[in-house]
Amino acid sequence: MSITVRPASRSEVPAAAAVLAEAFATDPVLAEIRPSRPGEQREAVLGALFAALVRAVPEHARALDVALDGDRVVGAAFWQAPRPHAGGTVAFLRQVPELLRVLGVGGAFRALRHLRRMDRARPDAPHWYLAEIGVAAAARGQGVGGLLLEHALRRIDGLGADAYLESSTPQNRRLYRRHGFGDGAPITGFRAAAPVSMWRPAVA
């Protein structure tokens, strides 16, 4: 497998979202934010959710990277630039109809409560935020996640910027530690999930 990592084009947002949906289908944090419903095609639902979340951030304030095996997207990482994001409100409002379609009104309020809980754990210092990273099942164990992180962190280091993420599994935390992230405080308030904040200071 020969993997290429580069910024995604606009037309690749759905494919990147589909990979994230597959990777997060059983994620404990996402299961509380958007529980499964009987009879639904969960990966299709989550793909629509991730595409809307990406588009809810203005293009100038986000970085969506894809890992490609040939012309097939097998990994994706979605980063948000340091806040505030100019034009962020307009970008978000454009995605409200799709978010409501996926989440429902009650689900949207539940998701907002959980997302605010995650947001309160974020440091005040400016930072690039890794919102999501995922690898297709067929490509796992091949170092794709590490390649996506290396690609983004070279860009972030070039800016002299800090980076932040939340991790919900010990396995993922091992990967992030190898790339310079340190464990922070647990994020409480979830029933079954136990995400941990992780911070990576700027590398000179």
Domain that holds residue 115: 3-200
CB 77 within 8 A of CB 64: yes
Residue 186 β-bridge partners: 196
pLDDT of residue 131: 96
DSSP type of residue 8: P
Number of domains in the chain: 1
Residue entry with tokens 């793909």: 47
pLDDT of residue 79: 98
Mean pLDDT in runs of 10 for the chain (204 residues)?
93 98 89 86 94 96 97 97 93 94 89 87 95 95 96 97 93 95 90 89 86
pLDDT of residue 48: 96
Q: How many CB atoms sit inside 10 A of residue 101's CB?
A: 12
* Helix, strand, coil share (%) of the chain residues, nearest 5: 50, 20, 30
Instruction: For Cα atoms 137, 143, 147, give the angle at the middle one, nearest 5 degrees.
Output: 110
We report the CATH number of the domain holding residue 118 as 3.40.630.30
